Amino acid sequence: MTRIDDVRRFLERYAPARFAEDWDNVGLLVGRADRPVRSVMTCLTITRAVVDECVAARADLIVTHHPLPFQPLKRITDETVPGDLLLRIIEARVAVYSPHTAFDSAARGINQRLAESIGLGSIEAIVERSSGTESSVPAPDCGAGRWGLCGEPTSIGELAERLRRVTAARTVQLAGGIDDRVSRVAVACGSAGSFLDRAARLGCELFVTGETGLHTVLEARARGVAMLLLGHYASERFAVERLAEELARAFDGVRVWASGAETDPLDAIGCPPSADPLTDSPKPGS
């Protein structure tokens, strides 16, 4: 009989906690490690719809990318959204595990998958982490973000299309020229604008992330780095679907699926393209 602890041990090997950011909350967050597990659901974020689905499907464990709880809670009541979700999960005897930034940075994690999906070679971490060996030598394939080389200069438009196919992103925002050809590309899922400086110092001509602020985009343009924004959800959700497949292969007899109720909280509405604030002047009368 597979137990929660068996799945936990697998996930700890798959995405070691030592790769998580210091501010993060990863690991088994809710539940008893010795309980049997017959069904596991993966998701990006625990929401009411996700909880409804897991309770109806009698899931024993939720593997969620974004932790719940994330920040310390002084009380767990139904007066707050995190408290209400946790109460429902606990009452249904569902355990919760989150790999979060450890999964972002792992050797087979989200950023590695993003880099490989667009055909990058010589892939290394943007910010390397210790390999965990006695010598504590940084491991090129373990750390925050990824950067690598295109086999030959490739248009940003072609790279955007590859990413759209892999992530099923409904919209991709671009700061830069769609026909510009690039050779060095950095990727970092989620909200990773803080990696821009390192990516620029590595000589990357394109930086791919989920979301970031206006001023980060303007800084990127000023430094000659194009940006592709996939959306936070799209940049990570595909990976929890792949994780469900890996868990199913690892635990024969355990039903594993990626949440079908989870959706991107943002909808795309068609709008005409705006002028480039760095190169285009407003049209007369605008």
Q: What percent of the chain has pLDDT over 90?
A: 85
Q: What's the whole-number average pLDDT of the chain?
A: 90
Q: Count, in order, helices (H) and strands (E) of the chain.
A: 9, 13
Assigned CATH for 107-233:
3.40.1390.30
| Confidence (pLDDT) at 143 | 82
| Confidence (pLDDT) at 240 | 97
pLDDT tens per residue, range 20-69: 999 999 999 999 999 999 999 999 999 999 999 999 999 999 999 999 99
pLDDT tens per residue, range 225-237: 999 999 999 999 9
| Confidence (pLDDT) at 139 | 57
pTM value is 0.88
| CATH label, 4-102, candidates 2.102.10.10, 3.50.50.60, 1.10.8.50, 3.40.1390.30 | 3.40.1390.30
φ and ψ at residue 50, rounded to 5 degrees: -65, -40
What are the domain boundaries of the chain? Answer: 4-102, 107-233
CB 138 within 8 A of CB 129: yes
CB 61 within 8 A of CB 92: no
